[in-house]
Amino acid sequence: MVHLAARVHVMRDTARDPLREFREVNTEGTARLAEQAAEAGVRRFVYLSTIKVNGEYTEEKPFDEHGSAHPGDAYAVSKWEAEQRLQEIGSRTGLEIVIVRPPLVYGPGVKGNLLKMLRWIDGGWPLPFANVANRRSLVSLSNLGDFVVRCIDDPRAAGETFLIADGEDVTTAELVCGLAAGMRRRPRLVPVPRSLLHHALRLSGREGLWQRLYGSLQIDSSKARILLDWQPPQRVDRALEDVGAWYVDHARAGVA
Protein backbone atom coordinates (compact mmCIF):
# COMPACT_ATOMS: atom_id res chain seq x y z
CA MET A 1 0.00 0.00 0.00
CA VAL A 2 1.19 3.52 -0.87
CA HIS A 3 -0.23 6.41 1.16
CA LEU A 4 0.07 9.90 -0.35
CA ALA A 5 -3.14 11.65 0.76
CA ALA A 6 -2.62 14.57 3.13
CA ARG A 7 -3.73 18.00 4.19
CA VAL A 8 -0.99 20.07 2.60
CA HIS A 9 0.20 23.66 2.84
CA VAL A 10 -2.59 26.19 3.25
CA MET A 11 -1.24 29.63 2.35
CA ARG A 12 -4.01 31.55 4.13
CA ASP A 13 -5.20 29.07 6.71
CA THR A 14 -8.45 30.22 8.34
CA ALA A 15 -8.65 27.28 10.75
CA ARG A 16 -8.86 28.30 14.39
CA ASP A 17 -6.27 25.64 15.29
CA PRO A 18 -4.23 24.76 12.17
CA LEU A 19 -2.07 22.18 13.96
CA ARG A 20 -5.18 20.32 15.10
CA GLU A 21 -6.51 20.28 11.54
CA PHE A 22 -3.22 18.96 10.17
CA ARG A 23 -3.00 16.32 12.88
CA GLU A 24 -6.53 15.07 12.28
CA VAL A 25 -5.79 14.28 8.62
CA ASN A 26 -2.05 13.69 8.44
CA THR A 27 -1.38 12.03 11.78
CA GLU A 28 -4.60 10.42 12.99
CA GLY A 29 -5.88 9.64 9.50
CA THR A 30 -2.60 7.97 8.57
CA ALA A 31 -2.53 5.94 11.78
CA ARG A 32 -6.12 4.74 11.29
CA LEU A 33 -5.36 3.70 7.73
CA ALA A 34 -2.24 1.80 8.81
CA GLU A 35 -4.17 -0.04 11.54
CA GLN A 36 -6.81 -1.06 9.00
CA ALA A 37 -4.13 -2.14 6.54
CA ALA A 38 -2.51 -4.34 9.16
CA GLU A 39 -5.86 -5.90 10.06
CA ALA A 40 -6.54 -6.58 6.38
CA GLY A 41 -3.24 -8.42 5.99
CA VAL A 42 -1.38 -5.78 3.99
CA ARG A 43 2.31 -6.60 4.05
CA ARG A 44 3.92 -3.20 3.42
CA PHE A 45 2.91 0.43 3.95
CA VAL A 46 4.85 3.05 1.95
CA TYR A 47 4.31 6.53 3.40
CA LEU A 48 5.05 9.75 1.53
CA SER A 49 6.22 12.20 4.18
CA THR A 50 8.19 15.42 3.55
CA ILE A 51 11.74 16.74 3.82
CA LYS A 52 10.25 19.48 6.00
CA VAL A 53 10.45 16.92 8.82
CA ASN A 54 14.22 17.51 8.73
CA GLY A 55 13.91 21.29 8.47
CA GLU A 56 13.31 24.24 6.18
CA TYR A 57 16.84 24.83 4.90
CA THR A 58 20.43 23.59 5.01
CA GLU A 59 23.65 25.47 5.66
CA GLU A 60 26.86 23.47 5.99
CA LYS A 61 25.80 19.99 4.85
CA PRO A 62 22.83 18.28 3.17
CA PHE A 63 20.10 16.53 5.11
CA ASP A 64 20.40 12.76 5.39
CA GLU A 65 18.64 9.95 7.23
CA HIS A 66 20.94 10.28 10.26
CA GLY A 67 19.93 13.86 11.07
CA SER A 68 17.47 14.72 13.81
CA ALA A 69 13.98 15.99 13.06
CA HIS A 70 13.33 19.74 13.10
CA PRO A 71 9.80 20.26 11.75
CA GLY A 72 9.19 23.99 11.46
CA ASP A 73 5.45 24.32 10.88
CA ALA A 74 2.16 22.59 11.64
CA TYR A 75 2.24 20.58 8.40
CA ALA A 76 5.74 19.24 9.10
CA VAL A 77 4.90 18.47 12.73
CA SER A 78 1.85 16.44 11.67
CA LYS A 79 3.91 14.44 9.16
CA TRP A 80 6.68 13.77 11.70
CA GLU A 81 4.13 12.59 14.26
CA ALA A 82 2.60 10.34 11.59
CA GLU A 83 6.00 8.77 10.97
CA GLN A 84 6.36 8.02 14.67
CA ARG A 85 2.88 6.51 14.87
CA LEU A 86 3.62 4.32 11.88
CA GLN A 87 6.83 3.03 13.43
CA GLU A 88 4.89 2.04 16.55
CA ILE A 89 2.17 0.33 14.53
CA GLY A 90 4.75 -1.51 12.47
CA SER A 91 6.56 -2.76 15.57
CA ARG A 92 3.30 -3.96 17.12
CA THR A 93 1.62 -5.53 14.10
CA GLY A 94 4.47 -6.58 11.81
CA LEU A 95 3.35 -4.20 9.07
CA GLU A 96 6.43 -3.25 7.06
CA ILE A 97 6.79 0.53 7.13
CA VAL A 98 8.72 2.45 4.47
CA ILE A 99 8.99 6.22 4.87
CA VAL A 100 9.93 8.48 1.95
CA ARG A 101 10.76 12.16 2.52
CA PRO A 102 10.83 14.09 -0.77
CA PRO A 103 11.66 17.78 -1.26
CA LEU A 104 9.72 19.91 -3.78
CA VAL A 105 8.06 17.55 -6.28
CA TYR A 106 7.68 18.97 -9.77
CA GLY A 107 6.25 17.81 -13.06
CA PRO A 108 3.48 18.56 -15.56
CA GLY A 109 0.48 19.88 -13.64
CA VAL A 110 2.60 21.59 -11.00
CA LYS A 111 0.91 24.13 -8.72
CA GLY A 112 1.97 26.72 -6.15
CA ASN A 113 5.16 28.76 -6.39
CA LEU A 114 6.51 26.86 -9.38
CA LEU A 115 3.40 27.68 -11.37
CA LYS A 116 3.85 31.33 -10.40
CA MET A 117 7.43 31.16 -11.68
CA LEU A 118 6.23 29.76 -14.99
CA ARG A 119 3.85 32.68 -15.31
CA TRP A 120 6.62 35.17 -14.50
CA ILE A 121 8.81 33.67 -17.23
CA ASP A 122 5.95 33.63 -19.71
CA GLY A 123 5.12 37.25 -18.92
CA GLY A 124 8.69 38.35 -19.58
CA TRP A 125 9.10 39.75 -16.09
CA PRO A 126 12.64 40.62 -14.94
CA LEU A 127 13.58 38.04 -12.31
CA PRO A 128 16.14 39.02 -9.62
CA PHE A 129 17.95 35.67 -9.50
CA ALA A 130 21.04 36.22 -11.67
CA ASN A 131 23.51 36.21 -8.77
CA VAL A 132 21.75 33.72 -6.47
CA ALA A 133 24.25 31.07 -5.36
CA ASN A 134 21.92 28.77 -3.46
CA ARG A 135 21.54 25.02 -4.03
CA ARG A 136 18.18 23.26 -4.02
CA SER A 137 17.41 19.55 -4.18
CA LEU A 138 14.26 18.68 -6.11
CA VAL A 139 12.63 15.47 -7.26
CA SER A 140 10.67 15.09 -10.48
CA LEU A 141 7.33 13.32 -10.38
CA SER A 142 8.75 10.68 -12.71
CA ASN A 143 11.76 9.98 -10.47
CA LEU A 144 9.67 9.93 -7.31
CA GLY A 145 7.19 7.53 -8.86
CA ASP A 146 9.98 5.24 -10.00
CA PHE A 147 11.46 5.17 -6.50
CA VAL A 148 8.12 4.50 -4.81
CA VAL A 149 7.56 1.53 -7.11
CA ARG A 150 10.97 0.22 -6.04
CA CYS A 151 9.94 0.57 -2.38
CA ILE A 152 6.76 -1.46 -2.87
CA ASP A 153 8.48 -4.78 -3.52
CA ASP A 154 12.17 -4.54 -2.70
CA PRO A 155 12.74 -6.50 0.54
CA ARG A 156 15.65 -4.22 1.43
CA ALA A 157 13.28 -1.25 1.82
CA ALA A 158 11.32 -2.75 4.72
CA GLY A 159 11.56 -0.67 7.89
CA GLU A 160 13.65 2.04 6.25
CA THR A 161 13.39 5.82 5.89
CA PHE A 162 14.66 7.41 2.68
CA LEU A 163 15.42 10.98 1.69
CA ILE A 164 14.94 11.08 -2.05
CA ALA A 165 15.99 13.62 -4.70
CA ASP A 166 17.01 13.89 -8.35
CA GLY A 167 20.68 13.97 -7.37
CA GLU A 168 21.43 17.14 -9.36
CA ASP A 169 20.97 20.23 -7.20
CA VAL A 170 20.14 23.52 -8.91
CA THR A 171 20.28 27.22 -8.16
CA THR A 172 17.13 29.28 -8.52
CA ALA A 173 18.62 30.77 -11.69
CA GLU A 174 19.23 27.28 -13.13
CA LEU A 175 15.67 26.33 -12.23
CA VAL A 176 14.35 29.34 -14.14
CA CYS A 177 16.55 28.59 -17.15
CA GLY A 178 15.45 24.95 -17.24
CA LEU A 179 11.77 25.89 -17.21
CA ALA A 180 12.33 28.62 -19.80
CA ALA A 181 14.08 26.16 -22.14
CA GLY A 182 10.93 24.04 -22.23
CA MET A 183 8.88 27.16 -22.93
CA ARG A 184 11.25 28.26 -25.71
CA ARG A 185 11.68 31.55 -23.88
CA ARG A 186 14.74 33.54 -22.87
CA PRO A 187 14.45 34.35 -19.16
CA ARG A 188 15.14 37.91 -18.03
CA LEU A 189 17.51 37.27 -15.13
CA VAL A 190 18.86 40.42 -13.50
CA PRO A 191 21.37 40.84 -10.65
CA VAL A 192 19.90 42.42 -7.51
CA PRO A 193 21.68 42.68 -4.13
CA ARG A 194 20.52 39.89 -1.81
CA SER A 195 20.31 42.24 1.16
CA LEU A 196 17.93 44.56 -0.69
CA LEU A 197 15.60 41.74 -1.68
CA HIS A 198 15.69 40.20 1.78
CA HIS A 199 14.78 43.52 3.35
CA ALA A 200 11.93 44.08 0.88
CA LEU A 201 10.42 40.63 1.39
CA ARG A 202 10.74 40.88 5.16
CA LEU A 203 8.95 44.23 5.20
CA SER A 204 6.17 42.79 3.05
CA GLY A 205 5.72 39.84 5.39
CA ARG A 206 7.03 37.27 2.92
CA GLU A 207 10.10 36.00 4.76
CA GLY A 208 9.18 32.44 3.83
CA LEU A 209 9.31 33.28 0.13
CA TRP A 210 12.83 34.61 0.59
CA GLN A 211 13.99 31.29 1.99
CA ARG A 212 12.35 29.30 -0.81
CA LEU A 213 13.85 31.46 -3.56
CA TYR A 214 17.26 32.35 -2.13
CA GLY A 215 17.99 29.78 0.56
CA SER A 216 19.50 26.31 0.16
CA LEU A 217 17.91 22.95 0.88
CA GLN A 218 20.08 20.01 -0.11
CA ILE A 219 19.47 16.31 0.32
CA ASP A 220 21.95 13.44 0.41
CA SER A 221 19.96 10.62 -1.21
CA SER A 222 22.88 8.20 -1.42
CA LYS A 223 21.15 5.70 0.88
CA ALA A 224 18.47 5.07 -1.75
CA ARG A 225 21.10 4.59 -4.43
CA ILE A 226 23.33 2.30 -2.39
CA LEU A 227 20.80 0.23 -0.43
CA LEU A 228 18.26 -0.21 -3.23
CA ASP A 229 20.59 0.11 -6.24
CA TRP A 230 18.33 2.91 -7.47
CA GLN A 231 19.18 5.52 -10.08
CA PRO A 232 16.78 8.30 -11.09
CA PRO A 233 15.67 7.59 -14.66
CA GLN A 234 15.05 11.24 -15.59
CA ARG A 235 17.64 14.01 -15.79
CA VAL A 236 16.85 17.32 -14.13
CA ASP A 237 17.24 19.39 -17.31
CA ARG A 238 14.81 17.18 -19.23
CA ALA A 239 12.34 17.13 -16.35
CA LEU A 240 12.33 20.93 -16.09
CA GLU A 241 11.91 21.28 -19.84
CA ASP A 242 8.92 18.93 -19.69
CA VAL A 243 7.29 21.22 -17.13
CA GLY A 244 7.95 24.28 -19.28
CA ALA A 245 6.51 22.58 -22.36
CA TRP A 246 3.44 21.46 -20.39
CA TYR A 247 2.85 25.04 -19.28
CA VAL A 248 2.98 26.41 -22.82
CA ASP A 249 0.54 23.80 -24.10
CA HIS A 250 -1.93 24.37 -21.28
CA ALA A 251 -1.51 28.15 -21.15
CA ARG A 252 -2.47 28.34 -24.81
CA ALA A 253 -5.58 26.32 -23.96
CA GLY A 254 -6.29 28.64 -21.03
CA VAL A 255 -6.22 26.00 -18.31
CA ALA A 256 -2.86 26.51 -16.57
Decide if 236 contacts 138 (C-beta within 8 A): yes
Give the long-range contacts of residues 122-125, CB within 8 A, separation 24 or more. Answer: 122/183, 122/185, 122/247, 122/248, 122/251, 124/185, 124/188, 125/188
C-alpha 60/C-alpha 91 separation (Å) is 35
In the chain, which ranges are E strands? Answer: 2-3, 44-48, 96-101, 104-106, 126-127, 138-140, 161-163, 188-189
Hey, is 187 helix, strand or coil? coil
Q: What is the largest CA-CA distance in the chain?
A: 58
Bridge partners of 140, per DSSP, are: 106
Which residues are annotated as catalytic? 75
214, 198 Cβ separation under 8 angstroms: yes
> What distance in Å separates the CA atoms of residue 119 and residue 114, rounded to the nearest whole number?
9
